Amino acid sequence: MATITPQLVKELRERTGAGMMDCKKALEATGGDIEEAIQWLRKKGLSQAAKLAERTAKEGLVGAYIHGGGRIGVLVEISCETDFVARTEDFQELVKDVAMHIAASNPRFIRREDVPEEVLRQEQEIQLARVREEGKPEHVAQRIVEGRMAKFFEEVCLLEQPFVKDPQKTVAERVQETSAKLGEKIEVRRFARFEVGR
């Protein structure tokens, strides 16, 4: 069982908005696994982020980022629930951070649910062919493909990519932290990335 450190409790609190004691209990109940602890809190109805996810975000900002002497440009729309939150420094910093991340990491989709079925099927076929080419036994091939598909989602889906300013967290976690801090639902709605010559 993992040691429940104050840093772990703090991280869970930032990601969920739940109380300190609830976060500690969740981590104790799940052996220190932060992802399982988030689910534990959600099941108990203690995660503020879970409650926020059900609300509607119709306000927000469109942010722009130009990089590399004008060679790369990004527009991103991030929504929140109120114009008051949209005007806060924390929200504006999040919009800038996400726009900069998109410029640097070139995601193709926002979340894995946005990946078209055809693209998924094609990638699975490629990975299966690679596994067979490597001579892996058929009974482990599917597990290897699943692992490689998870890596594929991490590469092409914005919310699953390691955040450029802090690779220890994903872009989704960066958004959730701001959501929990500001007490509103926040979501990345859409983005466009332009690069000269591409």
Range of the domain at 122: 116-156
1 part of a folded domain = no
Which CATH number goes with the domain that contains 125? 1.10.286.20
pTM over 0.95: no
173 and 99 within one domain: yes
pLDDT tens profile 146-174: 889 989 999 999 999 999 999 999 999 99
120 and 25 within one domain: no
Tell me how far CA of residue 83 lies from CA of 88, 191, 196, in angstroms. Answer: 9, 20, 34
162 and 100 within one domain: yes
Q: Would you place residue 48 in the very low, low, confident or very high pLDDT band (cuts 50, 70, 90)? A: low
Please give the pLDDT value at position 23.
Answer: 84
CB 96 within 8 A of CB 65: yes
**What helix, strand, coil percent values describe the chain, rounded to 5?**
55, 20, 25
- What is the widest separation between alpha-carbon atoms in the chain? 58
Give the residue with greater pLDDT, 136 vs 171.
171
Please give the pLDDT value at position 53.
Answer: 59
Which CATH number goes with the domain that contains 167? 3.30.479.20
| Number of domains present in the structure of the chain | 3
